[in-house]
Structure 1
Amino acid sequence: MAITVQDIVSMDQLACSVVAGVDGLARPVLWAHSCELADPWTWLGRDELLMTVGICVPSGEQAQVRFIEQLDAKGIAGVALGDHLVAPPLTSAMLAKADELRFPVLSVRHTTPFAALARTVAIASQSEQLGRITRLGRLYELARLTTPGGTALLERLSAELGYALHVVDVEYGTEVLAATSRLPAGVVGALRAAVTDVDRLPPRISVTAGDGTATAFALSTHRRCVMVIESGDVDLDAFVILHAQSLVGVEVERTTRERERTDRLGETLLGQLVDGKIGGEAASPRLEQAGLTTSPWQALAFTAVAVDAARAVLSDDGVAYLSLVSDDTALLLCARDDADGAVTAVREHADAIGVSAPIADPGRISEGAREARWALESARSRGAEVADYSDSAPLFLPRTVEEARFATRVVLGPLLDHDRAKGTELVRTLRVFLDGDRNWSGTAEALRIHRQTLGYRLRTIESLTGRSTRKPADIAMFWMALAALDIAGEG
């Protein structure tokens, strides 16, 4: 049996007296810990005695009542206040609340070192501590025997500890290590909401959502992850939990690094497929090795800043994919059946998404990437979140890369030839002029040229193309030709 608060009070050499909560003296004390932080219940576990000179005790009646309520709610064994004249006066409301909750409040004579009180508890709890150390050894043995991947580790730790463990990335709302069952969406949402405006994750978070409750512990990982215990009513051993956090954190880092290595290999492979360096039969075994075993596939294009989110969410969900960042655009290739989930994963983080037509042949992946880029331009021009290449006809743009090349040559061919031959920037000048709503001053400033030089370039453009930079019909033709130029990959 563990030592009780009554046992501590009965030891005359410790010079402890009861101030309030006399009916709770039978509470067991597994450990005694000194803490002066404003939230000591965060740093102590169930059945641990808080030792303080009173710095952490708030002033004011209501604040002191909440202080006692929080300590009791977290299962703290009691509070031992050193008689050092540092603590604020204890209010009658606080002492009454301690009596009501049967929460022991002790006064410790200033001549009694907290170390003596702590060592007394430690010696009395030695046999139990040996049991906890044995249990801890089993946890580390489980981690040593677990292969990379995380599922087995979580399952074994859950079985050993007696409650279900999860690992949640609170930035993306995903479970980083696969578990036997998933946390309710409401609990995950509550965890994310609890840390929305927090730069550093709190060491412990308790949430309730609907019928689900959970207690989360921050992990020391480069992703914003927490280890979650599905029920908030379990008896948590802070000593064991701390080491479980360490083991799980190492597994998260190991799994994340392995995924990052896979992403780098995938980026190289997709780049070769898009550039046409690998195709046909040579591509099939490489795609199978990446998990993309069954066609058709689909390509997605979106702003590059969303690629980390896409990779994290899809990896956590176990979706096979290849991804690539080129300039300011990300490309992602996945199975057609996973495309809707990929769009959902990206949508929260990207301004627009373009989706290619289904890709049945590895040799058509390059074409699919162009289609996805094309659809992305379509989405942006229409102000839509998602555009499918198969539905882009309303833009009156060519529907194949060959058509795009033809349209580009018809409208912009003379300008492209002139730029290549003379080293001029007529196409760029036209693009900046139209993007800037044909504002002369803004265009000249963006190009860092004089207005007279801009006028000369515009007259040259009109002369070479036979189209006006002032007529709406010709402006529309120029705009669509520039879009086609980008899609054709010749911009």
Structure 2
Amino acid sequence: MGLPLDTDTVLLVVRGAPDDVLRRALGDLPHLILRRGDDHYLLGPPALAAPIAALPGVSAGLSRPFPPGESTRVAQREAVWAATQAAESGKALIHYGDDTTGRWLPDDPATLEALVEHVLGAVLSYDEAHDSQLLTSARTWMERNRHTEAAAAALHIHPNTLAYRLRRFAALTGRDLSSSAAFAEVWLAIRAARQLGLHDQ
């Protein structure tokens, strides 16, 4: 397909770039491109990252390099996760592994699923049944270093509403988020859910 076989391959998920702009940016670089909804999936050499990162208004995620011909299943999860991180942070490009917590999670989906079910299963079921935002609220609060006012502002809710959601989250998970051990376990489970594509919002 024209891709080099003597160097590692990467997978990029690109959001916010029209087809024609993306094709012009890639120029003569060897690549395969697939569009899925609003996302473009690019397969090719690591050199693809630089022109993508230079595009205005783009959010892109880059997988770890892998040998040509290897399955893209893990790379796809990595790139989707990184693209979501890029969109949330306002950065043009995130390399999978930039997150110091996520890099320690295993690649095995069964292990990740077991962690998510054990820690977050009750919350995921509750959110689905009640169209609530408990997991999103807890994640936002944790990402803002447990600053309730900042997290409530980001969620566009009153701080008291966030405090209620956090209490409900703690009750469903059976974990006191004031405990360092519980906090660490929940944080890893949230990262695992994101890596599996179960919690991308």
Unaligned runs of 5+ residues in structure 1 are 1-287
Cα offset, 1:317, TM superposition: 0.9
Please name the residue that 1:354 is paired with. 62
Residue in 1 aligned with 2:76? 369
Does residue 298 in structure 1 map to residue 19 in structure 2?
no
Partner residue of 1:459? 167
Q: Which residue of 2 aligns with 1:404?
A: 112
DSSP 3-state at the match of 1:437: coil
**Which residue does the alignment assign to 2:42?**
332
Residue equivalent to 1:341 = 47
Secondary structure of 1:331's aligned partner = strand
Distance 1:395 1:347, change over 3 A: same
Residue identity (%): 27
Shift of 1:399: 1.9
1:370-385 aligned within 5 A: 370-374=77-81
Task: State the Cα distance separating 1:318 from its structure 2 match.
Answer: 5.4
From the superposition, tell whether residues 309 and 411 of structure 1 become closer, same or farther in structure 2 (CA, over 3 Å): farther
1:315-330 matched pairs, under 5 angstroms: 316-317=27-28, 319-324=30-35, 330=40
Matched, 1:429 2:145: no
Q: Secondary structure at the match of 1:490?
A: coil
Inter-CA distance 473–312: structure 2 relative to 1 (3 Å threshold): farther
Task: Measure, in 2, the Cα distance between the counterparts of 1:311 and 1:352.
Answer: 15
Change (3 A) 1:448 1:377: closer
Instruction: Write the deviation string for residues 204-257 of structure 1: whole angstroms up to 9, x where unpaired.
Output: xxxxxxxxxxxxxxxxxxxxxxxxxxxxxxxxxxxxxxxxxxxxxxxxxxxxxx
Q: What is the TM-score of this pair, normalised by structure 2?
A: 0.70
The amino acid across from 1:331 in the alignment is: Y
Structure 2 match to 1:255: none
CA 1:435 to 1:319, structure 2 compared with 1: closer, same or farther past 3 Å? Answer: same
Does structure 1 retain, via aligned residues, the 8 Å contact 2:31–2:42? no
Assess if the C-alpha contact under 8 Å between 1:378 and 1:387 holds in 2.
Answer: no
Residue in 1 that maps onto 2:196 = 488
Q: Shift of the alpha carbon at 1:473?
A: 3.7
**In the TM superposition, what whole-angstrom CA distance separates every residue of 1:179-218 from its partner, at most 9, and x where no partner exists?**
xxxxxxxxxxxxxxxxxxxxxxxxxxxxxxxxxxxxxxxx
Mapped to 1, the partners of 2:101 and 2:131 lie a distance apart of 35
Match of 1:414 among 114, 122, 143: 122
8 Å contact from structure 2 (residues 12, 60) kept in 1: no
> Which whole-Å CA distance do the structure 2 matches of 1:365 and 1:489 have between them?
15
The alpha-carbon distance between structure 1 residues 378 and 464, as it changes in their structure 2 partners (threshold 3 A), is: same
SS at match of 2:11: strand
Q: How well do the aligned residues superpose, as a CA RMSD in angstroms?
A: 3.8
Query: For 1:326 and 1:481, how far apart are their aligned partners in 2?
Result: 28
- Residue by residue over 1:3-49, the C-alpha shift from the partner in whole angstroms, topping out at 9 and shown as x without a partner, is xxxxxxxxxxxxxxxxxxxxxxxxxxxxxxxxxxxxxxxxxxxxxxx
| TM-score, reference length from structure 1 | 0.33
Higher normalized contact order (CA 8 Å, seq sep 6+, divided by chain length): 2
Structure 2 match to 1:443: 151
| Inter-partner Cα distance in structure 2 for 1:431 and 1:388 | 19
Mapped to 2, the partners of 1:482 and 1:393 lie a distance apart of: 11
How many Å separate the matches in 1 of 2:40 and 2:79? 10
From 5, 19, 25, the counterpart of 1:313: 25
For 2:13, what is the secondary structure of its paired residue?
Answer: strand
